[in-house]
Amino acid sequence: MSEYPEIDGRAFRNVLGQFCTGITVITTFGADEAPIGFACQSFAALSLDPPLVLFCPGKASRSWAAIEERGRFAVNVLAEEQRELCARFGSREQDKFAGAAWHRSSLELPVLDDALATIECSVDRVVDGGDHWIVIGRVLSLAEVGESGRPLLFYRGQYSAIEPDKTVPAPWRADLEHFLTTTTLDTWL
Ligand SMILES: Cc1cc2nc3c(=O)[nH]c(=O)nc-3n(C[C@H](O)[C@H](O)[C@H](O)COP(=O)(O)O)c2cc1C
């Protein structure tokens, strides 16, 4: 018998679904220079110094195979209006970029035009995470694209969105120094 208790898969999904996340599309170019990508909620800021982020692709992900081969990826943070685009990148469709507005960045990565933010990285380390990989990326370049856009959220297995406007200033708190993703006096949430 295992030393660990049995955890029901449905309960795992239901309980973890209470943790609301943003959604990204993680992209790269394939060996044939075709753009490749997948919808990914398991993205997080990891370290400020050095600048690192992480995401967790399933071990069967074809996009991850391409990213591993290329050694580089772009994280596109999705905006509220990009639900359809997200569904497309969350499917196993062949050409997920068909109909999407994108361009080739100066770091030679496919970047979605209407995302909220873009973070371009090189693969730094890959750690085994059960049925997923934990991919740690070194940030090479980053930019906020939309000035006042609002993020697309994923909550309890469904798309969601935030209520307050992004242009409301965030109150400054000294203890925010300890957070990786926060604002300073001269920026806005
Ligand atoms: C909102 C949303 C979030 C997702 N998050 C992840 C994720 O964190 N990791 C992952 O491996 N797949 C995630 N997926 C599923 C992948 O996007 C999907 O399995 C992927 O498109 C597989 O295609 P590929 O084989 O072309 O990589 C998510 C899908 C959606 C719709």
CATH tag, 9-163: 2.30.110.10
Q: What pLDDT, on a 0 to 100 scale, did the predictor assign at position 58?
A: 98
20 — phi, psi (to 5°)? -80, 135
pLDDT exceeds 70 at position 140: yes
Q: Are 15 and 146 in contact (CB under 8 A)?
A: no
Residue 84 Cα to ligand 1 middle (Å): 14
- Average pLDDT rounded to a whole number, residues 116-120: 97
- pLDDT tens string 1-30: 689 999 999 999 999 999 999 999 999 999
- pLDDT tens string 69-107: 999 999 999 999 999 999 999 998 889 999 999 999 999
pLDDT exceeds 50 at position 189: no
What is the Cα Rg of the chain in Å?
A: 17
Q: What pLDDT, on a 0 to 100 scale, did the predictor assign at position 176?
A: 66
Instruction: Please report, for the chain, the start and end positions of each structural domain, with discontinuous segments joined by +.
Output: 9-163
Q: Which of 41, 43, 152 to mutate to test the pocket of ligand 1 (most atoms within 8 A of CB)?
A: 41
Residue 30 Cα to ligand 1 middle (Å): 17
**Cα separation of 158 and 186, whole Å?**
34
Q: What pLDDT, on a 0 to 100 scale, did the predictor assign at position 187?
A: 47
Residue 131 Cα to ligand 1 middle (Å): 13
